[in-house]
Structure 1
Amino acid sequence: MRDGGGASGPGEGPDPGALLAWYDRHARALPWRVPPGAAHRAEPYRVWLSEIMLQQTTVPAVKPYFEAFTTRWPTVEALAAAQDAEVMAAWAGLGYYARARNLLKCARVVAGERGGRFPDSAEGLRELPGIGPYTAGAVAAIAFDRPEPVVDGNVERVMARLYDIDEPLPGAKAEMKARAAELTPRARPGDYAQGVMDLGATICTPRSPACGICPWREPCLARARGTQAERPVPAPKKAKPTRHGIAYAGRREDGAWLLETRPDKGLLGGMLGWPGSDWADAPPEPAPPAEAEWRETGVEARHTFTHFHLRLEVLVAELPMGAEPARGRFQPLNPKDLPTLMRKVHAIAAAALRHD
């Protein structure tokens, strides 16, 4: 770790001071941040919430969710007191739903066992549910100004280009993190961490990096060698398998839909969804959740998860008021309460039932 200094020059290593000066002028305005030079630090609750939401998700996608969450649950105590179903519904569409379950667990530990106060060190933060090394470092640096290296995808790309790291991912991650730790200054480490992330998001972008206006253009080895478009070196792509399943979308005469809450563990855990089959390598045998004239829609709900593609056959039925399903429960439905995959099923089913 080092102290911030002046601008980088030809032949010199990257200077944190040059990046901080750039960040002071060009910092992105984000709802979970305080601007550079502010008299107070960002609230740990807001930093933590934003970092959990930003995992494997983009800033534009997260902004409306963050603003909705902090309006509805402005403190960690308020979030801890929320009903699980309310939080899962508010998270719907953001993806990676284990994050929402861990969000509640963590909020309840902080609000209960820790009196509403987050630990102020990366080590302490890592003891909380759902907080790994990256999130712990980010919260410690941004909320508590601890000199912790913060290495997300943007920072990895910056390090790969600064030092022209030619080892493919994920093997290169160790060197990227080591380089990031070497550069992290003791002066203003929180602003520095956000500055490197902003640099990767706005200047050192995956395609067509704007090297001419980069504060680290002189010490950047990839720019000097003309390899910036080739860094970082991606991991070889693996073909994703395709899995198959059935979703049963039943609507009662009064407009209520037959829905169920998925098991807490597994993909879309704890989320509202349609009764259906397991997802398997081959199309499953039908197993309707209620006696009815289920019919095919002829349209599949298709979705891609991290490790596989999914094709769901959508079957629909109109159910009588006295129907007693073996699975699920009837309830009014706001499609916004469903995760993206289940919204696709709803759109297909609603269109099919309109044509009856």
Structure 2
Amino acid sequence: MAVTGGPADGLDRAKLLAARYKAAEARPYLASALYALTVVVSQQVRTMAVDRYWRCYVAPDFVEATDVEELAGVWIHEAAHLLRDHHGRADRLPAADQRDRLRVNIAQDCEINDDLVSDGLRLPEGRMEPRMFGLPEGGLFEEYLPGIPATSLHPVDCGSGAHGVPVPWDLGEKGGEGVAGLGPVEAEALRRQTAQAVRAHRRSRGSVPAGWRRWAEEVLEPTVDWRKALTGAVREAAAWAGGAVDYTYRRPSRRTPALGGRVVLPSLRRPLPRVAIVVDTSGSMGEDDLAAALAEVSGVLREVGVGGNRVAVLACDADVHAVARVTAVDQVELAGGGGTDMTVGIRNALAAPEPPNIVVVLTDGYTPWPPEPVSCRLIVVLIGEDAPQPPDWAETVRITPTR
């Protein structure tokens, strides 16, 4: 991309571009992102900064005072803000945090710099790292933010492409001639292209830092928000079950008066679904995981509007040990600890006098399953990243409970 300005602005272009070339040569999987940045000369920035349109604002004095190797590290640092969508993630922070752009920027620098330093890159003195605040390495900036003091002596500002807050030197969405920048669709395509390059480089050479590997896998195979997925699955199943309307005489049809009271017509009703939760209490299941997962499912059911005596909980390993209709999680008895067969629990739930419309199974997946689809909606909540996949006809949500 272009470098704005001319000789009169005092920028040592040869040095700056040599540093970018060095960065791209040393980390070829980041080359596309580095060369996508449009350089804008600015006397208002202290070092280098980016906006969300992939413009890189550069202070001529900083370039002059910094050697090429450190400049290469800064190039990668600024590109990392954009590749990791720091401005987009900052936009989702609580309003109070968004207003403190300095703290946000420091937390973001901590997320980036521990990866860069461990990768052997040189950065200028005064760089932010997690250890400066007593924080562990390898975290995300959202995790670091609570540990960053409200006031700080480190005046960093990597621009609105990092913390998301407009700054005086920003050129805005349209920019100007030669500095149009990238739109959100182009930026997302560039992130995916870079992530694919990271994956390809790792497979061919195996020398990609852990932080970049994690980022690339998340871009190419994003983690699903399992709470939303679980809520959506239960809500859809409840709506499906509620679609089985029935007739009732408890509230006569509104058409009855038209018949002069001689005939009473029934009205249609939409019954609330009955739900059975089959909890895997075999020896492979941790009690903390079970309690956390059960609490999540109970919360989802309350949100959907299913509760009270319409929810039955079955504790099951290779046999059903406890069946109860509960109104609170602490009423559940998680008995068991033996082998595993969720088929037994599912069949027991369906054999109830009032069989459920929805069965939710909480399990680590190491269990036999019914050989064919059951007579209700089955939602399998898999606990753990490595849990085996259940049959295709079961709706599946993978969760990782917070301990």
TM-score normalised by the chain length of structure 2 = 0.27
Higher relative contact order (CA 8 A, sep 6+): 1
Structure number with bigger Rg:
2
**TM-score between the two structures when normalised by the length of structure 1:** 0.29
